[in-house]
Structure 1
Amino acid sequence: MPAETTPSAATPFDTSGFRERLRRAQFEDESAFALGADIEQLLSARCQRVEQATAAAFQHVFPESAAVALVATGGFGRGELFPQSDVDLLFLLADNATPLHKSGVEKLLGLLWNLGLAASHATRTVAECVQEARTDISSATALIEARRLAGAEALFQRLLLAITPQQLWSGPAFLEAKHAELKARHARFHDTAFNLEPNVKEGPGALRDVHALLWVALRAFGTADIRQWAELGLCTETDQRLLLQSRALLGSVRYGLHRAAQRKEERLLFDHQRALARMFEAARGLPDNLAVEQFMQGFFRAAGSVRRISERLLLTWAARLDVNAVTAERPLSEPFVVRGERLHSVAAALNPEQSLGAFELLLAEPALAGLAPELEARIAESCAQSAPASWQVSAVAHAFLRILR
């Protein structure tokens, strides 16, 4: 059967109309953002508008083609699109696609450029997608959150069947690769969430750490909805609440940064910190320096929470997925035991003295890799729930002094 051609559309594409609607809607979004609109709703609304324009442009170029599908990937596939972010697209071609289809892709990219949309794209067959995903974890990640926007449904379904966890990147393997990727990324930023000019997307504790959790949870447990994780036993209610709050704050900062810079800027430079402090009204009644300090404290608290929780959850999920996990225990002082290379607790809750005792044991057992994730969570719960006076008793004070020595 001969490959299809790419027919030319009879009706001209309304470039100016779409461009004006996108421009006006973005202006309205930025006004709503300044008034405190929900960041998730803003990102989702922009994504839907861009999807509508992109799908219409595709239908103009490929009115009736079974040889090409338009697929959203990256943040676009995830359903969140920041003001200056690239529109990540995959043009999925059938094996019998012709040069006319490839020239149609170029025409479509030109239409998107005229709409003011910067597209980051790849053009591949299903086999090429699978081959790339087998050897590159970033390509595999882009595919697992892909969404079909228009074009050949059967072709897209072939892709989905070819990239299931049974075919490539099982849940445990995917988690291990993403955890290694996260550690390497953190190392580029000196392994700290508290850089003076942090990167709000890629830095330790930034949005990419949240994305890493979403990707792993989707691949290994079938859901990227943080609101379901506590009910499914993937995290505590406290961690779920902190993750949602921190994601919203980090997303708002990134949105404001794009708005202030009017370009795809991810570094929270000193000049932008002043602009954002004013934007977030941290400056109300305060000198500039104090306003910036207050604004950055909020950012660092969110980034610190995300970094701690992401590391803890990745370790917890890895143990949950490990069918060969070590179960032998070596008892230490009650209620602590060593299991594998980490310190665990057999108690359901800890008092302040026991919480500090865990760190004393880590100092006494330098071969240990650290606290087990569930022990770290219990210590955090103990700190949050204990009355301030309980940390001032002499036994707790002495334990703290022993750690300092």
Structure 2
Amino acid sequence: MKFFEDIRFSEKLAQSNTPVILFSETLKSIREWLAEAYADNMPSAQLVKAYTHLMDELITRAWRYHFPELTDELTIAAVGGYGREELHYGSDIDLLILFERKPQDATREQLEIFIRFLWDIHLEVGHSVRSVRECVREARKDVSVITNLMEARFLDGSAMLFESMMEQTSPVKIWPPEKFFEAKLEEQKARHRRYDDTPYKLEPNIKESPGGLRDLHMILWLSRRLTGAADLKQLVSQNILRLEEYRQLVRSRNFLWKVRNGLHLLVGRSEDRLLFDYQRALAKQLHYRDSEDRLAVEQFMRRYYRTVRQISLLNEILIQSFQEKFDEASKQRLVNINPRFRTRGGYLETTDSEVFSNYPSALLEIFLLWQQHPRIKGIRADTIRELRRNLHRINHLFRRDPVNQHLFLEILRQPAGLTNVYRQMNRYGVLGAFIPAYDRISGQMQHDLFHIYTVDEHTMFVVRNLRRLNLAKYRHEFPLASELMAEVI
């Protein structure tokens, strides 16, 4: 991996009349190294960091070749995924070039030559050239711009200019935490709607679908802007993220990174859609093998779906935690429901942290209460955590307990909210714990083009449609089926 550590590269560059060829060949060697390291099963986090740092060296050397004497007047910085040090084989290289004073024509021309040079050596480069003032102006208008700048990473040039830009776009100056939080939350909701609000489709997008890498980035963006945390680990020391949650996120991130790099290598370019035709090849690439009851590709996709469900859930918990910090006034609006539960600001919570351990039936009761009180918005973050920490209490004795069987049937009998509550029971792991057969279909897909969702997601649609038969306003659609449904219920 010693592409730049000895003097040979510098000597070759000094003697070369065709630097494009030298840089192109070096880039090709770097990409070949990445493919070999991936095939040798180098850990994802190590591979992504190493590749990013090699690109840093390549781009910095290209920059210094084109601007040997302007390092105090210009700054080059990495932004986006490159700024986060998360480059994959087919990732775009996003660059920000900063200037203090408006560049002279000769400098602008040299900047154009530099960008063309990067394209000529076969780098996919996105770039912007701005003054610090322009960065601030654009960032005020667009939350995606401030997000990009927030992740900026200095590469070369004037460090003072870079620090000035970071200081003038800090939360103290623009986009205060609550405003940033609201804008990013709306952005995430819109993105989720584009993917039908489900991570369980046949051909998910590793980056953009619910539970994908963007949901993980969302946690990082909010944490950085709201708490100053530079990475996930700092959230643990700030008591925002539990240690086990941190470990789950890292494992999930590393798996998605491995899948994404593998997908890029498979198709030879940037591609984030986990298309049907790629899934079988990726399963083989990741060493999955057919078993008696599951194809290799089904095992691979099951792990994918369970991974994104984990990210999606932790994304929800962290967002809820941040929301609660902003809703100071709502902390006083307590409404007791029974000795075990109350609402705070419209969200369900336990009256103390031992409710689920002292009264395990509350693991089902909480969902029945959610149905019976339509104004409840959801469950508070710490209560979700307590619920998940007590899932082990749902065992064979719990399932056979008449009280719990009655609670589950009462959930089925409620006149409204069944589909939503069933989805949340599945999301939090309660449904699979109470019905082990359901856990076995969770994240299970059938590798054909007919079934466009996982088996558990299809089951949710069946529950929704059966529920529809029992509602008076829909009985005219299928009268006989509605009549039979009424008899069953």
Query: What's the counterpart of residue 17 of structure 1?
Result: 22
Q: Are 2:279 and 1:273 aligned? A: yes
**Distance (whole Å) between structure 1 residues aligned to residue 88 and residue 396 of structure 2:** 41
Alpha-carbon spacing, 1:124–1:384, altered in 2? closer, same or farther (3 Å): farther
Query: What's the counterpart of residue 379 of structure 1?
Result: 387
Letter in 2 for 1:361: L
Query: How far off its partner does 1:168 sit?
Result: 0.6
The counterpart of 1:390, out of the listed 382, 394, 398, is 398
Query: How far off its partner does 1:384 sit?
Result: 4.3
Query: What's the counterpart of residue 115 of structure 1?
Result: 121
Alpha-carbon spacing, 1:203–1:384, altered in 2? closer, same or farther (3 Å): farther
**Distance (whole Å) between structure 1 residues aligned to residue 396 and residue 86 of structure 2:** 41
Q: Are 2:110 and 1:104 aligned? A: yes
2:198–2:210: 8 Å Cα contact kept in structure 1? yes
Q: Which sections of structure 1, spanning at least 5 residues, go unmatched?
A: 1-8
**Distance (whole Å) between structure 2 residues aligned to residue 360 and residue 78 of structure 1:** 43
217-226 or 40-49, larger mean C-alpha shift = 217-226
Query: How far off its partner does 1:145 sit?
Result: 0.9
Query: What's the counterpart of residue 320 of structure 1?
Result: 325
Query: How far off its partner does 1:387 sit?
Result: 4.5
Query: What's the counterpart of residue 363 of structure 1?
Result: 371
Query: What's the counterpart of residue 440 of structure 2?
Result: none
Q: Which sections of structure 2, spanning at least 5 residues, go unmatched?
A: 1-12, 414-489
Letter in 2 for 1:262: G
**Distance (whole Å) between structure 2 residues aligned to residue 159 and residue 392 of structure 1:** 63
What SS is found at the alignment partner of 1:117?
coil
**Distance (whole Å) between structure 2 residues aligned to residue 82 and residue 384 of structure 1:** 38
Q: Are 2:190 and 1:149 aligned? A: no
What SS is found at the alignment partner of 1:230?
helix
Within 5 Å, which residues of 2 pair with 1:64-103? 64-65=69-70, 66-103=72-109
**Distance (whole Å) between structure 2 residues aligned to residue 385 and residue 96 of structure 1:** 66
**Distance (whole Å) between structure 2 residues aligned to residue 266 and residue 390 of structure 1:** 42
Query: What's the counterpart of residue 182 of structure 1?
Result: 188
Query: What's the counterpart of residue 177 of structure 2?
Result: 171
What SS is found at the alignment partner of 2:390?
helix
**Distance (whole Å) between structure 2 residues aligned to residue 31 and residue 394 of structure 1:** 58
32-41 or 207-216, larger mean C-alpha shift = 32-41
Query: What's the counterpart of residue 6 of structure 1?
Result: none
Q: Are 2:57 and 1:49 aligned? A: no
The counterpart of 2:202, out of the listed 196, 203, 222, is 196
**Distance (whole Å) between structure 2 residues aligned to residue 63 and residue 179 of structure 1:** 43
Within 5 Å, which residues of 2 pair with 1:202-281? 202-281=208-287
- For residues 245-266 of structure 1, what are the alpha-carbon distances to aligned partners after superposition, in whole Å with 9 as ceiling and x for unaligned? 1111111111111111111111
Letter in 1 for 2:318: L
1:68–1:101: 8 Å Cα contact kept in structure 2? no
What SS is found at the alignment partner of 1:343?
strand
Query: How far off its partner does 1:28 sit?
Result: 2.4
Query: How far off its partner does 1:284 sit?
Result: 5.0
When normalised by structure 1's length, the TM-score is 0.93
- For residues 343-399 of structure 1, what are the alpha-carbon distances to aligned partners after superposition, in whole Å with 9 as ceiling and x for unaligned? 111221314311111101101100111111211121111114654543432222221
Query: How far off its partner does 1:98 sit?
Result: 1.3
What SS is found at the alignment partner of 1:326?
helix
Query: What's the counterpart of residue 282 of structure 1?
Result: 288
**Distance (whole Å) between structure 2 residues aligned to residue 42 and residue 88 of structure 1:** 19
- For residues 301-337 of structure 1, what are the alpha-carbon distances to aligned partners after superposition, in whole Å with 9 as ceiling and x for unaligned? 0111111110111110121244444322110112111
The counterpart of 1:332, out of the listed 334, 337, 340, is 337
Query: What's the counterpart of residue 298 of structure 2?
Result: 293
Alpha-carbon spacing, 1:324–1:258, altered in 2? closer, same or farther (3 Å): same
What SS is found at the alignment partner of 2:101?
coil
Query: What's the counterpart of residue 422 of structure 2?
Result: none
**Distance (whole Å) between structure 2 residues aligned to residue 202 and residue 286 of structure 1:** 33
2:330–2:344: 8 Å Cα contact kept in structure 1? no
What SS is found at the alignment partner of 1:224?
coil
**Distance (whole Å) between structure 1 residues aligned to residue 189 and residue 180 of structure 2:** 14
Alpha-carbon spacing, 1:228–1:392, altered in 2? closer, same or farther (3 Å): farther
Query: How far off its partner does 1:93 sit?
Result: 1.8
Aligned length: 396
Alpha-carbon spacing, 1:91–1:333, altered in 2? closer, same or farther (3 Å): same
The runs of at least 4 consecutive aligned structure 1 residues that moved more than 3 Å come to 9-15, 284-287, 321-326, 384-392
Q: Are 2:341 and 1:341 aligned? A: no
299-308 or 323-332, larger mean C-alpha shift = 323-332
1:83–1:259: 8 Å Cα contact kept in structure 2? yes
**Distance (whole Å) between structure 1 residues aligned to residue 131 and residue 140 of structure 2:** 14
Letter in 2 for 1:263: R
What SS is found at the alignment partner of 1:176?
helix
138-147 or 378-387, larger mean C-alpha shift = 378-387
**Distance (whole Å) between structure 2 residues aligned to residue 239 and residue 174 of structure 1:** 24
- For residues 36-67 of structure 1, what are the alpha-carbon distances to aligned partners after superposition, in whole Å with 9 as ceiling and x for unaligned? 21111111111111111111111111112132
**Distance (whole Å) between structure 2 residues aligned to residue 273 and residue 148 of structure 1:** 37
Q: Are 2:410 and 1:402 aligned? A: yes
Query: What's the counterpart of residue 138 of structure 1?
Result: 144
**Distance (whole Å) between structure 2 residues aligned to residue 273 and residue 109 of structure 1:** 35
Alpha-carbon spacing, 1:240–1:403, altered in 2? closer, same or farther (3 Å): same
Alpha-carbon spacing, 1:105–1:11, altered in 2? closer, same or farther (3 Å): farther
Query: What's the counterpart of residue 28 of structure 1?
Result: 33
Alpha-carbon spacing, 1:176–1:235, altered in 2? closer, same or farther (3 Å): same
88-97 or 183-192, larger mean C-alpha shift = 88-97
The two structures, once aligned, show a CA RMSD in angstroms of 1.9
When normalised by structure 2's length, the TM-score is 0.77
